[in-house]
Amino acid sequence: MPTISAGKLRKLQSLADAHGRFTMMAIDQRGSISAALAKLLGVAASEVPFEALVTVKAVITRALAPYASAVLTDPIYGYPYSGATIPGAVAVLLACEESGYQTAGPGGAERVSRIIPGWSVAQAKRVGADALKFLLYTHPDATEATRRHQESLVRRLGEECAEHQLPFLLELVTYSLEHAAASPEFAREKPGFVAESAREFSKPDYGVDLLKLEFPGNLKYTDEYSRGAFDGVTREPVCSLSDVEASLRKVDEASAVPWVLLSGGVGIEEFLVNLRLATAAGASGFLCGRAVWQSVLSHYPDEAAMKRVCLAESVFNWQRCVATAENALPWFDHRQYGGLEAIIPDPHAADWPRP
């Protein structure tokens, strides 16, 4: 029977819904929210006030948290200010990566991640987090120095999460060394990158419990959706929908741990298709943010309008995501576990007292 520490088991259960599916809301974004507000306010991203991020996160958290199985927020602008509006029955994940990345490698085309300065797994656990989240940029062909840096960072976090019996959710974000993120070339490269990084970082020695993965492809470049289905723009297709489905199966085979889908800033209609295909291939749900609440930002600083849009649009978007995840694989039915009844808490991990 597979064993897991009692704390990790307990907290994985708290992150999922009653059926073991993850319907988790992300509001831990920092860089992307700053960028959107900067554009709106006509200032540099560095000039967006601290309070603007706090306000945006507070409005969205209060409106959407009651509908989620868990909420992912950050310890800088989010949790200290809006943590109390997350219902007690909804679990909390705390992000611990510094937003964005530092450049590295030849020509600065590679990306390395770091932990928020002054923050740690121990502090996240102490303040009440039910899980730790770390966003890692990853490229299978990065230089060895970059790969070693990223791998040792994950390994270290995995060890600390094991020590604190806190589930470790690792978000993997791939990038191209040569092409733009929205290019047809990257649409071709990406499926392999996603599968390869999932394979690497779900190896047991990293200590990852749950992967948060990109959609391995870009529907806008498929035959079926290339005629502007999502944004009105016609593109030259690079593959068919069945190729994307094959890529999803490869990702699911590559991941040795349960995985959830991220939205990565795509629109809600595209995300709903992504999610339907991903859960059909074995994803255990989603952890998504911008696809659901992106439109709220444009109403800042009008809090009343932001709340209205949250209730009118974001909750509607959210409920469609939840419905679409109905056929997600319960995390404990992933082949790593084989059913909740088969899982036992590691009898040695806690040194349980005896009578």
Q: Does 55 bind a copy of itself (CB under 8 A)?
A: no
Q: Does 281 bind a copy of itself (CB under 8 A)?
A: no
Q: Does 330 bind a copy of itself (CB under 8 A)?
A: no
Tokens of 282: 């074995």
Q: Contact, 295 vs 309, CB < 8 A? A: yes
Q: Does 198 bind a copy of itself (CB under 8 A)?
A: no
Among 2, 106, 228, 347, binds a copy of itself (CB under 8 A): 347
| Nearer Cβ to a copy of itself (20/264) | 20
Stretch that binds a copy of itself, among 146-154, 186-194, 201-209, 347-355 (CB under 8 A): 347-355
Among 64, 68, 72, 76, binds a copy of itself (CB under 8 A): 76
Q: Does 58 bind a copy of itself (CB under 8 A)?
A: no
Q: Contact, 132 vs 118, CB < 8 A? A: no
- Taking the complex as a whole, how short is the minimal distance between the CB of residue 181 and a copy of itself, in angstroms? 25
Among 61, 83, 186, 208, binds a copy of itself (CB under 8 A): 83
| Nearer Cβ to a copy of itself (52/272) | 52
| Nearer Cβ to a copy of itself (80/106) | 80
Which of 197, 183, 194 lies closest to 244 in space, CA to CA? 194
Residue 136: CB atoms within 10 A of its CB come to: 23
| Nearer Cβ to a copy of itself (144/348) | 348
As a whole number of Å, the CA-based R_g of the chain is 20
Strands 168-174 and 210-213: parallel
Q: Does 105 bind a copy of itself (CB under 8 A)?
A: no
* Total binding residues toward a copy of itself, as defined by CB under 8 A: 53
Element of type H or E holding 255: none
Among 36, 52, 72, 79, binds a copy of itself (CB under 8 A): 79
- Which residue has 């297709």 as its token pair? 237
Residue 310: CB atoms within 10 A of its CB come to: 22
| Nearer Cβ to a copy of itself (311/340) | 340
Q: Give the list of residues 6+ apart from residue 230 with CB closer than 8 angstroms, or none.
A: 219, 220, 266, 267, 269, 270
| Nearer Cβ to a copy of itself (88/107) | 88
Q: Does 75 bind a copy of itself (CB under 8 A)?
A: yes
Stretch that binds a copy of itself, among 123-131, 256-264, 288-296, 307-315 (CB under 8 A): 123-131
- Which residue has 């490698």 as its token pair? 105
Q: Does 348 bind a copy of itself (CB under 8 A)?
A: no
- Taking the complex as a whole, how short is the minimal distance between the CB of residue 32 and a copy of itself, in angstroms? 14
- Give me the 25-54 binding string for a copy of itself, x by CB under 8 A, dash otherwise: -----x-------------------x----
In angstroms, the Cα distances linking 38 to 53, 78, 238, 256, 298 are: 11, 18, 34, 40, 11
Tokens of 155: 């390994």
- Taking the complex as a whole, how short is the minimal distance between the CB of residue 13 and a copy of itself, in angstroms? 4
Q: Give the list of residues 6+ apart from residue 94 with CB closer than 8 angstroms, or none.
A: 28, 72, 73, 74, 75, 79, 124, 127, 129, 131, 132, 133
Residue type, 82: S
In angstroms, the Cα distances linking 223 to 50, 113, 195, 206 are: 44, 35, 22, 38
Stretch that binds a copy of itself, among 37-45, 77-85, 235-243, 254-262 (CB under 8 A): 77-85
Q: Rounded CA gap, 201 and 207, in Å?
A: 9
130-169: contacts with a copy of itself (CB under 8 A): 164-165
Q: Rounded CA gap, 191 and 16, in Å?
A: 27
Q: Which residues bind a copy of itself (CB under 8 A)?
A: 5-16, 18, 30, 50, 69, 75-77, 79-80, 83-84, 86-92, 116-119, 123, 125-128, 164-165, 340, 343-345, 347, 349-355
